[in-house]
Structure 1
Amino acid sequence: MSRPLIGITGPRRGAVGPRLCIHLGVWLAGGRAVQLRPGSPVDTSALDGVIISGGHDVEPTLYKAEAEVVGNYDPERDRFEAAIIDSALRDETPLLGICRGAQLLNVRMGGSLFQDLRKRRRKTSRRRFILPLKTLCLDGGSRLARILGAGDIRINSLHNQSIDRVGNSLTISGRDLDDIVQAVERANHPFLHGVQWHPEFLIYSARQRRLFRALLAAAADYRAARDRHA
């Protein structure tokens, strides 16, 4: 049987490094990846799973807010990835949102964002860095904790925005030492997780690779169920 097919979203241009790292994470977990950019079909019915990647800030108008800082916005990407998320939610396609992807997922489900994360840092550094300098405190009863294993875990931090009001049907599965939301999930969905850190840059960690393996396991189940009903 062929590997499950995972769509990886991103901007029209650039973001080569993150795309390749996510592609590697998917491959190591037993999947194959296809890159999705603005202009690609937004129907997820041909995919077994979706990863909404990190990058640009989410436009504040999407959660009915005015800009508080000078952000790095990509409205074309916002529209495209919002449509992908909506399609995945409708079809219950397994979905992982990474950083910006977690934020946009939260917004599409009725949540809002903090626009300047630096103001909320009290116990940890305001520095954004690719290496795991911050601590994720998992909710022990969450699905994410069952995936990653018990105990706190070290994560990186490259985002300036973060989740404020949690979207409908989402629950918080992890926070950092400043009580900032770092992970959300939806219990009544085969696999719906949003994480604020970048697991693709920590692929050398066995615990981080578990997240990709869990996505691929859900994608394989999703494809099998879809084939049975075809």
Structure 2
Amino acid sequence: MTRPVIGVTTSNRSGWRVFPLMAFNIWLAGGRALRWGTGREADLAQVDGVVIGGGDDISPDLYDGRLVTSARLDPARDALEKRLVDAALERDTPVLGICRGSQMLNVALGGTLHQDAYGTYRDSRFIRTILPRKTVLVEADTRLAQLSGTGPMRVNALHTQAVEDLGEALRIAARDEGGMIQAIERLSDPFAIGVQWHPEHLFYARRQRALFRALVTAAAARRDHAGQIAAVRRDAAPLGEQ
């Protein structure tokens, strides 16, 4: 059987170095990656799943927020990814949102963002590194807990924005030690999960690879017209806390 194809959105500025990592993780999970971005064709009919990757801040115009002066925006990418998330959910195409992508998943479903997340969550440690130096706490009885276990998880962090009000049909899957939302997930098919960290840089950690495996599993189920969340649940092997 051919590998499920996963469309991956990237920044035009940094995508050249990020996409190979994404493609590697998706290949390890059993899929094949296709790079998307502004100026590149992005046709959902060509793929079985979608990764919305990291990058610049999301414009508050998408959720009636007020622009902060420190924001660095990419309106063309905002429009592309908002369209892709809307269409993916309408077509039952599974989605993994990474950092900015997690925020876009929330915004596309009607949620809002903290533009200055660390100004709001004073007890959250402001760490900007691809190294796993931040601790997140996984909520029990969530999809993320099924995939990666419930023990404290060491992750990286590059973000300044974070989810504020949840979008429709989403729930919180993890927070950091200061209470800031670090992961969200959809309650029903199509499978959709968003994480505030960058698991593509943590491919050596089984708990992080599980996110890409879940997306590829859901993409294969979608291609077979089967239940995605049910397939992910069956595929999720019990994990030790690591």
Q: Distance in 2 between matches of 1:124 and 1:108?
A: 26
Query: TM-score under structure 2 normalisation?
Result: 0.89
Which stretch shows the higher mean deviation, 161-170 or 127-136? 127-136
Q: Distance in 1 between matches of 2:124 and 2:61?
A: 29
What are the within-5 Å matches in structure 2 for residues 54-133 of structure 1?
Answer: 54-133=54-133
Which residue of structure 1 lines up, in the alignment, with residue 30 of structure 2? Answer: 30
Give 1:150 deviation, angstroms: 2.7
Contact 1:137 1:177 in 2 (8 A): yes
What are the within-5 Å matches in structure 2 for residues 101-180 of structure 1?
Answer: 101-180=101-180
What are the within-5 Å matches in structure 2 for residues 40-51 of structure 1?
Answer: 40-51=40-51
Contact 1:124 1:134 in 2 (8 A): no
Contact 2:134 2:155 in 1 (8 A): yes
Pair 1:190–1:89, CA change in 2 (3 A): closer
Contact 1:170 1:186 in 2 (8 A): yes
Which residue of structure 2 lines up, in the alignment, with residue 14 of structure 1? Answer: 14
Tell me, yes or no, if structure 1 residue 202 matches structure 2 residue 202.
yes
Give 1:144 deviation, angstroms: 1.0
Q: Distance in 1 between matches of 2:56 and 2:76?
A: 11
Q: Distance in 1 between matches of 2:122 and 2:133?
A: 15
Give 1:121 deviation, angstroms: 4.3
Aligned residues: 226
Q: Distance in 2 between matches of 1:12 and 1:132?
A: 25
Give 1:46 deviation, angstroms: 2.4
Give 1:13 deviation, angstroms: 4.1
Structure 2 SS opposite 1:45 = helix
Deviations 1:43-94 (A, max 9, x none): 4132110000000100011110111232110000000111111110101101
Structure 1 SS opposite 2:46 = coil
Q: Distance in 2 between matches of 1:40 and 1:124?
A: 37
2:75 maps to amino acid: P
Query: TM-score under structure 1 normalisation?
Result: 0.94
Which residue of structure 1 lines up, in the alignment, with residue 229 of structure 2? Answer: none
Which residue of structure 1 lines up, in the alignment, with residue 52 of structure 2? Answer: 52
Structure 2 SS opposite 1:125 = coil
Contact 1:12 1:77 in 2 (8 A): no
Contact 2:185 2:193 in 1 (8 A): yes
Q: Distance in 1 between matches of 2:14 and 2:121?
A: 30
Q: Which runs of 4+ in 1 moved over 6 A?
A: none
Q: Distance in 2 between matches of 1:54 and 1:62?
A: 17
Contact 2:89 2:190 in 1 (8 A): no
Identity %: 44
Q: Distance in 1 between matches of 2:43 and 2:120?
A: 37
Q: Distance in 1 between matches of 2:8 and 2:30?
A: 15
Contact 1:137 1:175 in 2 (8 A): yes
Which residue of structure 1 lines up, in the alignment, with residue 213 of structure 2? Answer: 213
Give 1:39 deviation, angstroms: 3.5
Give 1:134 deviation, angstroms: 1.1
